[in-house]
Amino acid sequence: MKYLWMTVLLAAVVVGCSGQKEAPAANHDGHNQAAMEKPAAPADGEKLIYYTCPMESHKHIHSAEPGTCSECNMTLVPGVITTEDKMEYYGCPMLIHSHVRQDSTGRCAECNMELKPMRLKKA
């Protein structure tokens, strides 16, 4: 009898779980991530690194996912490694150091990685 109940319980769990769909991811504001407009993919030769606020004073805001700035609610824009002819600044390629930006080549003051030519891809 014990094995019968275990079999029934296991069957109920399998049937119950197989019908569930994964809930859409929500960003920090509770908005549905799937409903948000996805930005265009980086151009040839560019590599997406992070998303950040386009305002210079909010460059410390960064995310691995698209979303909005927690301070001004503007849509985050992709920060991409690009070619030197398209670059806006040199930046650290690490997400947690996205605030490290300068006008010349060098190394990140926090992790010592080589700074890469980067730009913010604004829509």
Can you read off the two tokens belonging to residue 120? Answer: 């913010």
* Token pair for 39: 């930005």
**Element containing residue 2 per DSSP (H, E):** helix 2-18
**Which tokens is 95 given?**
């997400």
**Which residues of the chain are under the pLDDT cut of 50?**
20-39
DSSP alpha helix (H) spans, 65-117: none
- Angle made by CA atoms 44, 50, 55, in degrees to the nearest 5: 105
Give pLDDT, residue 45: 72
Phi, psi dihedral angles at 81 (to 5 degrees):
-75, 130
pLDDT at position 46 is 86
What is the pTM assigned to this prediction?
0.60
